Amino acid sequence: MDSWSQQSRADKAFEAVNLFLLVCIVIVVLYPLVFVAFASISDPAAVINGDMLFWPEGFTLKAYERVFQNIDIMRGYGNTILYTLIGTAINLVMTILAAYPLSRKDLAGRNALMMLFVFTMYFSGGLIPSYLIIKSLGMVNTFWALIIPNAVGVWNIIIMRTFFQHTLPHELHEAAVIDGCSNFQLLMKIVLPLSMPVIAVMVLFYSVGHWNSYFSALIYLSDRDKYPLQLILREILVQNQTQEMMQMSEESATQQALMAASIKYAVVIVANLPVLLLYPFLQKYFVKGMMIGAIKG
């Protein structure tokens, strides 16, 4: 007999209610994304009139044509890819260099150092002092203003430190030292190859953070050529700046308004597609990474 037939009525009712609630939650979470995706390839008039609910109406790719013809969006895409790749690489190196020594029992004062790291999670100088520091370093309106201030995340250091402490046995370190490994060789040849799950989690955390970041660019950048994609997206969605994508001489005001709405949906999909494609491949590492800092022993 299968497990379902062996359950009591109360257990079956409980599981049925849970299943129903989970399906409802999935629908609530997914429908806005599905709606935006379908609206971006539907006739703008059908979307505005409410005719498009669960399936595209009047299939068209005009919105995507306008998006990919826009120089600012393509430049912002390239800038964001650059910021994400270089920023994530620096983040990963800095996190490893901080987390590994803090995980070693033979590091004198490691608990005091850890307390200093944690202190920065709760207290900071604020926006104005941070801006003054960036300005004094000559990084305002430069690429590095988006990279250096966020070079490492304390929470991610804690996650990686916990992984090193409770997943890699201390006896492994002792055996490597007896065999003549230096600390650097131990890190590169033993610790890192065994830490690929947490490294994948860090790559996911940092890359998504860089991809979605816009506030630092809003504060530190004044040159439009350096804008990331999310700042361009903010102008289109929040400030309603779609005039440059409109062909003013060929379309009426009504057509322009309809196309502007369709362009907003298309821009949202284009901006978030890389992250949506990344998550399925790293989902198991993401779940494991969320548990690393919560489970000890």
Contact 90, 151 (CB under 8 A): yes
Residue 121 lies in a domain: yes
Residue 292 lies in a domain: yes
Residue 43 lies in a domain: no
Q: Tens digit of pLDDT for each residue in 179-223? A: 788 888 888 888 888 888 888 888 888 988 888 888 888 899 888
Pairwise pLDDT comparison (238 vs 220), residue with the higher score: 220
Give the per-residue pLDDT at 248: 47
Of 34-43, 49-58, 84-93, 202-211, give the lowest mean pLDDT range.
49-58
Q: Which CATH number is 277's domain given?
A: 1.10.3720.10
Residue 180 lies in a domain: yes
- Per the structure block, which two tokens stand in for 185? 């060789």
Q: Name the domain count of the chain.
A: 1
Q: Tens digit of pLDDT for each residue in 66-102? A: 888 888 888 888 899 999 999 999 999 999 999 988 8
Give the per-residue pLDDT at 249: 43
pTM of the model as a whole: 0.77
Average confidence score pLDDT of the chain: 80
Residue 190 lies in a domain: yes
Residue 14 lies in a domain: no
Instruction: Name the amino acid, one letter, at 129.
Output: P
Q: What is the mean pLDDT of residues 155-173?
A: 83
Give the per-residue pLDDT at 4: 57
Residue 60 banded pLDDT, cuts 50, 70, 90: confident
- Per the structure block, which two tokens stand in for 231? 């700042």
Give the per-residue pLDDT at 72: 83
Residue 111 lies in a domain: yes
**Domain encompassing residue 282:** 64-297
Residue 119 lies in a domain: yes
Which ranges in 41-109 belong to alpha helices (H)?
44-48, 62-69, 71-103
Give the per-residue pLDDT at 284: 67
